[in-house]
Amino acid sequence: MTRQMTGAKMVVQALIDQGVDTVFGYPGGAVLPIYDEIFQQNHIKHILVRHEQGAVHAAEGYARSTGKPGVCLVTSGPGATNAVTGLTDALLDSIPIIVLTGQVPTFMIGSDAFQEADTVGITRPCTKHNWLVKDTDALAGVLHEAFHVATSGRPGPVLVDIPKDVQFAQGSYDAPKPSTSHYQPKVKGDMQEITELVAAIENAKRPLFYTGGGVINSGPGASQLLRELVGATGFPITSTLMGLGAYPASGDKWLGMLGMHGLYEANMAMHGCDLMINIGARFDDRITGLISEFSPKSTKAHIDIDPSSINKVIRIDIPIVGDVGHVLEDLLKVWKSRGRKTNSEAVGKWWGQIKEWQAVDCLKFKQQGKIIKPQYALSRLEALTKDHDRYITTEVGQHQMWAAQYLNFEDPNRWMTSGGLGTMGYGFPASIGAQMGHPESLVINVAGEASWLMNMQELGTAMQYNLPVKQFILNNERLGMVRQWQELLHGERYSSSWSESLPDFVKLAEAFGAKGIQCSDPDDLDDAIMEMINYDGPVVFDCLVEKHENCFPMIPSGKAHNEMLLGDAETQGVIDAKGSVMV
Amino acid sequence: MSALKLKKGDTAKSAYNLRPTFSDVIERHTLAVMVENEPGVLARVIGLFAGRGYNIESLTVAEVDHQGHLSRITIVTTGTPQVIEQIKAQLGRIVTVHEVHDLTVEGPSVERELAMFKVVGAGEKRVEALRLANIFRANVVDSTLETFVFEITGAPAKIDAFADLMRPLGLIDVARTGVAALSRGD
Ligand SMILES: Cc1ncc(C[n+]2csc(CCOP(=O)(O)OP(=O)(O)O)c2C)c(N)n1
Ligand SMILES: [Mg+2]
């Protein structure tokens, strides 16, 4: 049914009709009509962040933890430009986000009006798609289409730029209908290719599943099918940073994360496998290392909803374009109908080899003395929180990699980290978004002191909305990951990688009315973590850790998987000239 | 639009060859991209080439289906087979791109370009310019006592050849439209 209303009201109506319950935003002149409509209704909760970057990361945290799209509302000009980092982050991690921006009135566009920016121009390369709506009658259609585009195919961020006069004007509004737009990505895989993969599975001697964020994005059903497939074939499985939780860390086929800071057994298995089954991962350079030496002997199958991911960097033998859930369903059907065959004898031998690699125990560490090792802090955090209904976000740096290594994820949507863009400042606002989606759950942001300071203003947001997010800061007083690279390839010249003039985190927390806890003694750590968990409100936990700890294992840039460094190894000069130009 | 029946992402028979041979040979391909004729769509296509470091040798665009709001962008690009496949796949990801056709691999096609040449001269040179224009079937669309403006249509190589001949005869200005291309037959 078509109804007449203002553009501003349409925005709120479209959000309600799309099932949105939470919007993260920040007001300004160009969005005041929309804020006025938000004020006059009770369906949608608006969370006032403290910086627009925080709004987008919060929406990402909400989206990744709930499986629903995240929504932001910001003003024109600086509001829009502050959202750019979040949009780029969501683009690289394929997170469905809808960002609504105000714009100067249509008749002032192009005049360098106050707070005018070419928002669609600036965000064209960092959104999946964007629209400038110049006609109120077109607004409802664009808003509904924005949800369709953000959530279908390979998900991603979209932006709708709405001039202020379009918000004021009357137009006709229609409720959402199934999209009739041309954009309808294909979800079913080609049966011929799927059958070819089944044949490869039946014959493989050293198979390996390599899974990524695509499994999580495909929904909980895809993770379920993955578990069934892994269980039934008995093949080992590893995952990218983005895919953690799709297969449970406690599962007996689990090899742990792979990649630059992945586990020894996972990387060695990647290097040595004869059948690699990539499910929803994209051969990122953090995964492949040296391309020419990447898994040299394997037949490579790749299931991805985005055709451009296939053959982008690695040559694929069995390409399957489709949604992970749909393809796995068909794959299982065909494999079962052909008699559930695998080469179990050869796969048994392969497991024998893998067990040897696992015996290296690449994550072992020694907690000695009075200084907390970051690995120890995370092991204790894992032990004390694993039975909770728990969501983890992280910032970016060493702590992020240690979190991926030492925390275990049993389910999808429990782990939110900036994988593709590596955005320091992501974790705190993301934890706020995750907590909004899961008010009763334990939400922890594993942070580095430097990253955390990048969006620490969101402590105000956490306080205002009583969001009991726990900020677990591994404080090494260093830009630790930068320091580690300087140690390894810049002759230990630690250029600007100190965190100078750090605040007193306890006092900082208290200044906002939150709880601050500091811990520096390993013997006090458990009690302090329990105090954090049991406190009903936001906590800033300043965990003083070993300042010069390096994150291992590590595949140095420009090296192959089987050249990875384990802890305590001789690390000087391991990255050659070719490797050192890579990031 | 009857010839353009292929769906994006169709692995069996489409412009996307998902099983390429990785070779270092640089190829030249002509792509026909059907896009929704909406503001910014050309910026999306050009931005993709600039942002990902692909080459554009020639680009033409115009609305070809007024009712369907569709424009046709013809792009001539170069790259290794892997890069060409990536370009097509990346174009296919743009939400407002409806179809991507690689005319170079999808069968025989014809390419045409229109160009205008301004030639200044007197005496023998002026006569010679007119004579060559006749041979190349270029039309005189404007003339003064010292100048001609020729209009010529043809495959890009023919236009290049004409330009080479006109240069010593007083060529002072060239405008070229870039390539428009269609597949042959139905
Ligand atoms: C916005 C941004 N700026 C710079 C970087 C580069 N960078 C990566 S890790 C890192 C250091 C992070 O320090 P901290 O948050 O304390 O984490 P740690 O490595 O010490 O655990 C820096 C500067 C980045 N990833 N993001
Ligand atoms: Mg640090």
Q: Is B91 found in the same domain as B48?
A: yes
Number of neighbouring beta carbons within 10 Å of residue A256: 21
Predicted local distance difference test score (pLDDT) of residue B107: 92
Scan for tokens 């001539």, then name that residue: B76
The phi, psi pair for A414, rounded to 5°, reads -105, -5
Q: Is residue B157, in this structure, part of any structural domain at all?
A: yes
Closest CA in chain A for residue B18: A319
Identify any residues that bridge with A470 across adjacent strands, giving them in sequence order: A444, A539
Write the CATH number for B55.
Answer: 3.30.70.260
Q: Indicate which of B4, B95, B100 best probes the interface with A, i.e. most A CBs within 10 Å of its own CB.
A: B95
Cα→Cα distances A27→A52, A60, A109, A113, B55, Å? 10, 19, 20, 18, 42
Of B47, B89, B98, the CB nearest to A308: B89
Alpha-carbon span A428 to A416, nearest angstrom = 11
Amino acid at A429: P
Q: Is B172 found in the same domain as B151?
A: yes
Amino acid at A13: Q
Number of neighbouring beta carbons within 10 Å of residue A61: 31
| CA atoms lying within 13 Å on the CB side of residue B132 | 22
- Indicate yes or no: CB of A311 within 8 angstroms of CB of B43: no
Alpha-carbon span A522 to A3, nearest angstrom = 64
Q: Is B162 found in the same domain as B95?
A: no
Q: Is residue B7, in this structure, part of any structural domain at all?
A: no
H/E stretch holding B27 reads strand B27-36
Alpha-carbon span A527 to A543, nearest angstrom = 13
Alpha-carbon span A196 to A190, nearest angstrom = 10
Alpha-carbon span A294 to B17, nearest angstrom = 23
Q: Is residue B76, in this structure, part of any structural domain at all?
A: yes
Percentage of residues in chain A with pLDDT exceeding 70? 97
Residue A115 appears among annotated catalytic residues: yes
- What is the average per-residue pLDDT within A184-197? 97
- Indicate yes or no: CB of B18 within 8 angstroms of CB of A321: yes
> pLDDT tens across A322-347, in order?
999 999 999 999 999 999 999 999 99
Q: Is residue B134, in this structure, part of any structural domain at all?
A: yes
From A304's Cα to the closest Cα of chain B, the distance in A is 11
Alpha-carbon span B50 to B75, nearest angstrom = 13
From A278's Cα to the closest Cα of chain B, the distance in A is 15
Alpha-carbon span A508 to A541, nearest angstrom = 11
Q: Is B115 found in the same domain as B96?
A: no
Of B9, B19, B98, the CB nearest to A182: B98
Coil, helix or strand at residue B14 = coil
For residue A193, pLDDT beyond 80: yes
pLDDT grade, residue A562 (50/70/90)?
Answer: confident
Identify any residues that bridge with A394 across adjacent strands, giving them in sequence order: A446
Predicted local distance difference test score (pLDDT) of residue A578: 65
From B169's Cα to the closest Cα of chain A, the distance in A is 45
Instruction: Give the dihedral of Cα atoms A129, A134, A140, A141; nearest 10 deg.
Output: -50
Alpha-carbon span A381 to A403, nearest angstrom = 10
Strand pairing of B58-65 and B70-79? antiparallel
Q: Which residues, other chains included, contact A348 with Cβ-Cβ below 8 Å and sequence gap of 6+?
A: none
Closest CA in chain B for residue A150: B95
Cis peptide before A553 (omega within 30 of 0): yes
Coil, helix or strand at residue A119 = helix
Scan for tokens 């976000």, then name that residue: A393
Percentage of residues in chain A with pLDDT exceeding 90? 93
Are A102 and A76 within 8 A, CB to CB? yes
Closest CA in chain A for residue B87: A308
Q: What is the DSSP string of A461-512?
A: HHHHTT---EEEEEE-SB-HHHHHHHHHHSTT--TT-B--S---HHHHHHHH
Q: Is B179 found in the same domain as B124?
A: yes
Q: How many residues does chain A have?
A: 583
- Indicate yes or no: CB of A128 within 8 angstroms of CB of B95: yes
Of A129, A186, A193, the CB nearest to B9: A186
Helix axis angle, A136-151 relative to A7-17, nearest 10°? Answer: 30
Q: Is residue B121, in this structure, part of any structural domain at all?
A: yes
Of A124, A182, A307, the CB nearest to B47: A124
Q: Is residue B71, in this structure, part of any structural domain at all?
A: yes
- What is the average per-residue pLDDT within B86-96? 97
Q: What range does the domain containing B48 cover?
A: 27-102
* Among candidate residues B53, B85, B102, the one where a domain is terminated: B102
Of B10, B82, B93, the CB nearest to A311: B82
- DSSP character at residue B138: P
Write the CATH number for B123.
Answer: 3.30.70.1150
Closest CA to A140 of A169, A107, A183: A169
For residue B134, pLDDT beyond 50: yes
Q: Is B90 found in the same domain as B63?
A: yes
Alpha-carbon span A296 to A280, nearest angstrom = 21
* Ion ligand 2: protein residues whose beta carbon lies under 5 Å: A 448-450, 476, 478, 480
| Residue A352, Cβ density class (10 Å: 0-12 exposed, 13-18 middle, ≥19 buried) | exposed
Cα→Cα distances B38→A480, A498, A530, B42, Å? 47, 50, 57, 9
Residue nearest to atom 1 of ligand 1 (CA): A424
Cα–Cα–Cα angle for A373, A379, A382, rounded to 5 degrees: 145
Scan for tokens 């010679």, then name that residue: B128
- What is the average per-residue pLDDT within A244-264? 97
- Indicate yes or no: CB of B86 within 8 angstroms of CB of A308: yes
Residue A114 appears among annotated catalytic residues: yes
Alpha-carbon span A412 to A420, nearest angstrom = 18
Q: How many residues does chain B have?
A: 186
pLDDT grade, residue A302 (50/70/90)?
Answer: very high
Specify the number of domains making up chain B.
2
Mean pLDDT of chain B: 90
- Indicate yes or no: CB of A312 within 8 angstroms of CB of B36: no
For residue A452, pLDDT beyond 50: yes
From B183's Cα to the closest Cα of chain A, the distance in A is 23
Nearest ligand, CA A495: 1
- What is the average per-residue pLDDT within A9-33? 98
Residues in B closer than 8 angstroms to A125, CB to CB, are 47, 51
* Tokens encoding A403: 């979190």
Q: Is residue B156, in this structure, part of any structural domain at all?
A: yes
- What is the average per-residue pLDDT within A525-538? 98
Q: Is B83 found in the same domain as B117?
A: no
Residues with CB under 6 A from ligand 1: A 395-399, 422-425, 448-451, 474, 476, 478-482
* Tokens encoding A219: 């929904």
Predicted local distance difference test score (pLDDT) of residue A459: 98
- Indicate yes or no: CB of A307 within 8 angstroms of CB of B20: no
Residue A531 appears among annotated catalytic residues: no
Cα→Cα distances A20→A11, A43, B97, Å? 11, 9, 29
Residue nearest to atom 9 of ligand 1 (CA): A397
Alpha-carbon span A426 to A409, nearest angstrom = 20
Coil, helix or strand at residue B73 = strand
- Indicate yes or no: CB of A124 within 8 angstroms of CB of B43: yes
Closest CA in chain B for residue A304: B9
Number of neighbouring beta carbons within 10 Å of residue A367: 15
* Among candidate residues B62, B80, B102, the one where a domain is terminated: B102
Lowest mean pLDDT among A93-102, A534-543, A564-573, B95-104: A564-573
CA A399 to ligand 2 center in whole angstroms: 8
Number of neighbouring beta carbons within 10 Å of residue A446: 30
For residue A214, pLDDT beyond 80: yes
For residue A400, pLDDT beyond 80: yes
Predicted local distance difference test score (pLDDT) of residue B19: 55
Q: How far does chain A reach from its first CA to its final CA, in angstroms?
A: 54
Alpha-carbon span A85 to A396, nearest angstrom = 14
Predicted local distance difference test score (pLDDT) of residue A489: 84
Predicted local distance difference test score (pLDDT) of residue A568: 63
Q: Is B117 found in the same domain as B88?
A: no
Closest CA to A8 of A140, A206, A144: A140
Q: Is B65 found in the same domain as B126?
A: no
Q: Is B133 found in the same domain as B90?
A: no
Q: Is B122 found in the same domain as B79?
A: no
Identify any residues that bridge with A205 across adjacent strands, giving them in sequence order: none
CA A498 to ligand 1 center in whole angstroms: 11
Coil, helix or strand at residue A400 = helix
State the catalytic residue, choosing from A9, A164, A253, A559. A164
Predicted local distance difference test score (pLDDT) of residue A473: 98
Q: Which residues, other chains included, contact A395 with Cβ-Cβ below 8 Å and sequence gap of 6+?
A: A418, A424, A425, A426, A427, A428, A445, A446, A447, A448, A451, A452, A454
Q: Is residue B6, in this structure, part of any structural domain at all?
A: no
Q: Which residues of A197-208 are buried (b: 16+ CB within 10 A; e: fewer)?
A: bbebbeebebbb
Closest CA in chain B for residue A315: B22
Alpha-carbon span A364 to A372, nearest angstrom = 15
Are A449 and A471 within 8 A, CB to CB? no
State the catalytic residue, choosing from A4, A107, A114, A510. A114
Closest CA in chain A for residue B9: A307
- For a substitution probing ligand 1, which of A84, A479, A552 has the most ligand atoms within 8 Å of its CB? A479
Q: Is B115 found in the same domain as B83?
A: no
For residue A71, pLDDT beyond 90: yes
Alpha-carbon span B77 to B57, nearest angstrom = 5
ipTM score of the complex? 0.92
Coil, helix or strand at residue B31 = strand
Q: Indicate which of A310, A314, A316 best probes the interface with B, i.e. most B CBs within 10 Å of its own CB.
A: A310
Residue A355 appears among annotated catalytic residues: no
Of A183, A186, A190, the CB nearest to B95: A183
Alpha-carbon span A50 to A429, nearest angstrom = 10
Predicted local distance difference test score (pLDDT) of residue B4: 31
Predicted local distance difference test score (pLDDT) of residue B9: 38
Residue nearest to atom 8 of ligand 1 (CA): A397
Q: Which residues, other chains included, contact B50 with Cβ-Cβ below 8 Å and sequence gap of 6+?
A: none
pLDDT grade, residue A212 (50/70/90)?
Answer: very high
- What is the average per-residue pLDDT within A95-110? 98
- For a substitution probing ligand 1, which of A93, A421, A424 has the most ligand atoms within 8 Å of its CB? A424
Interface of A with B (CB under 8 A): 120-121, 124-125, 128-129, 132, 149, 154, 182-183, 185-186, 190, 192-193, 306-308, 310-312, 315-317, 319, 321
For residue A435, pLDDT beyond 60: yes
Predicted local distance difference test score (pLDDT) of residue A502: 97
Residue A395 appears among annotated catalytic residues: no
* Among candidate residues B68, B84, B102, the one where a domain is terminated: B102
